[in-house]
Amino acid sequence: MSRQPARVAVLAGDGIGPEVTAEAINVLNAVGDRFGHQFVFSSGLIGGCAIDETGAALPSETITVCSESDAVLLGAVGGPKWDNPTAAVRPEQGLLGIRKALGLFANLRPVKLVPALLEASTLKPEVLAGVDLLVVRELTGGIYFGPRQEASADDPTAFDTMLYTQPEIERVTRLAAEAARGRSSRLASVDKANVLASSRLWRRVVTEVVAKEFPDVQLEHVLVDAMAMHLIRRPSAYDVVLAGNLFGDILTDEASMLAGSMGLLPSASLGNALNSYGHPRGLYEPIHGSAPDIAGQGIANPLAAILSAAMLLRHSLGLEDEAQVVERAVESVLADGLRTRDIAWGARRIVGTAEMGNAVVQRIMQ
């Protein structure tokens, strides 16, 4: 098909980031070969490696590269070398900064159980049956971006403020409700409205937006502590889950254990800015961290990064068929018994990062 090359910014980052993003790039190139698409990759620094080279966790050059691209593929940031929480410049500032710079206010984290990996989860198979969640996390507001103060010798008081405005809640609610409308039309909104003023605003605004704009969507409000229990006791009862920045961060890490490993779960961060294809210029990354203890050993699980590339195809390039081919390829290699060490239960063959990536590429090209 005749379409302009897709420009993808690659921010490999730290730890296992370069290893898993390399496999995601190989998968995108395989998709290009099979379907006649072209991808042009450009790299940028973020996180600890950026601090080492430039002194900043998010150099201005990286923001420029991302702004000129159709989508961004991110690996991971951080590691023991930069682990001082009192340091003036920290790798995590790069993540928060790129989200803010690109206006990425919503993070989509799907949690879909692969039948071949039932044994990888610590939960009973009957609890996991039918699990297919999409968690929508607000990404640029809340406690991570509100007013804060570090403790000091003069004032040993520290605080972080959970601050939300009505427009911030409205826009992420619309995105979550639209996603729910395309699935089962069920939306669960998570808050702590019995205690927090910001959560009472959250609940009121979510209720108003859904009632006025999405009357066909069934809305349920769930307190965050109750949702933490429900995700373990009856996860299949939920479809689309909407949460603020802090609550969504914690709940999605918990939900990753339903699938057996963080190494399996992708994410997409989206905003209102459109790329040259008329789709959102998103940022796509595995939800796992930099895993410095296994970095450079060739044993990291690349599937979350590969599935993030599938989300890139779907949301930023409008290539739904191609995205499904990648997802089916991942399911196929897992059904054949290939496992990286983090999901080695029931493995017929334990493979490394590159071998798992190559196996997915081979399925794509079949």
Whether 100 is a known active-site residue: answer no
Angle (CA) 259-284-221 rounded to 5° is: 60
DSSP H stretches of helix in 39-185? 48-54, 60-67, 92-101, 125-128, 166-181
Residues in the chain: 366
Q: Is residue 212 flagged as an active site residue?
A: no
**216 annotated active-site:** no
Spot the catalytic one: 14, 70, 191, 249: 249
Kindly name the residue from 100, 160, 253, 277 that is annotated as catalytic.
253
Residues 6+ apart with CB under 8 A from 226: none
* Catalytic residue selected from 33, 225, 293, 336: 225
Phi, psi of 295 (to 5 degrees): -60, 140
Catalytic site residue 52?
no
From the candidates 70, 192, 238, 284, which is the catalytic residue? 192
Structure tokens at 361: 């590429």
Contact 58, 92 (CB under 8 A): no
Q: Among residues 144, 164, 238, 284, which one is catalytic?
A: 144
Q: Tokens 């989860």 label which residue?
A: 121
Between the alpha carbon of residue 263 and those of residues 54, 125, 172, 174, 287, the distances in Å are: 30, 20, 26, 29, 8
Question: Is 192 designated active site?
Answer: yes
Q: Which residues are the active-site residues?
A: 144, 192, 225, 249, 253
